[in-house]
Amino acid sequence: MLMWENASKNNVIVSEIIGKLRDKNTVPTDFRLYLRRLGNFLAFEAAKHLDSKTSSVQTPLGKANYNKLVDNIVIISILRAALPMSDGVHETLPDASLGVISASRGKKLQDDGKDFRIDCTYTNIPYLEDKVAIIVDPMLASGSTLLFLLKQIETQKPRKIIIICAIASQYGIERIIAHNEDIIIVAGDVDTILNEKGYIIPGLGDAGDRAFNT
């Protein structure tokens, strides 16, 4: 079973939103709006991997069955770039709990590698045992930040881990899967090039800077 997906391949709306995010002329207010909308759509894609049960409701004319989510979900937002996307994910999954982690990429650990030191200044994540952890990070580049976070949350034994990102590099996806092949990755789009500085090409630039005009 393929544990990652490129949502742009089967959803034209996602592809259009990614196009707007990639456009260097998109202003910060619109950039945040598109990130939020993308979070909505990618949460729908992620929901395909969640468990449900059949329930029923009484309509004015009779009884109807429907499927209801049963997973206990925790959305984990990587500050600050993920805030708009996380809002969109939370709108689609309103009963989810929310955790945050402040992490930023530092220097390379090796000159000829693509692994980076991660500086973490704040973490507030609900207990995850037997829950579904949905990690939101707009850019899955080298995978260093997510691997740093995964090593923390896996000790709490979540039942399932889903990563939602706007753009992922093929390199980053492969690193995450090599670490844990059960992790599910839902990407808005996937780029093949990760340069020597750890930037996704063509990517969309620095999501945090573009979203918050810094």
To the question of pTM greater than 0.85 for the whole model, the response is yes
End-to-end Cα separation, the chain, in angstroms: 40
Residue listed under structure tokens 């939020």 = 36
Which residue type does 116 have? F
User: Is the peptide bond between 117 and the residue preceding it cis, with omega within 30 degrees of 0?
Assistant: no
pLDDT of residue 214: 85
Encode pLDDT of 39-94 as tens digits: 999 999 999 999 999 999 999 999 999 999 999 999 999 988 899 999 999 999 99
Q: Which domains does the chain have, with CATH numbers?
A: 4-50+69-212 (3.40.50.2020)
Q: Are 169 and 193 in contact (CB under 8 A)?
A: yes
pLDDT of residue 196: 83
pLDDT of residue 113: 57
Q: Are 166 and 38 in contact (CB under 8 A)?
A: yes
| Low-confidence residues in the chain, pLDDT < 70 | 1-2, 106-113, 115-116
The tokens for 7 are 């949502």
| 3-state helix vs strand vs coil in the chain, percent to 5 | 35, 35, 30
What whole-number distance in Å separates Cα of residue 36 and Cα of residue 207?
Answer: 12
pLDDT of residue 49: 95
What whole-number distance in Å separates Cα of residue 194 and Cα of residue 172?
Answer: 9
Sequence-distant (≥ 6) Cβ neighbours of residue 128 within 8 angstroms: 74, 153, 156, 157, 158
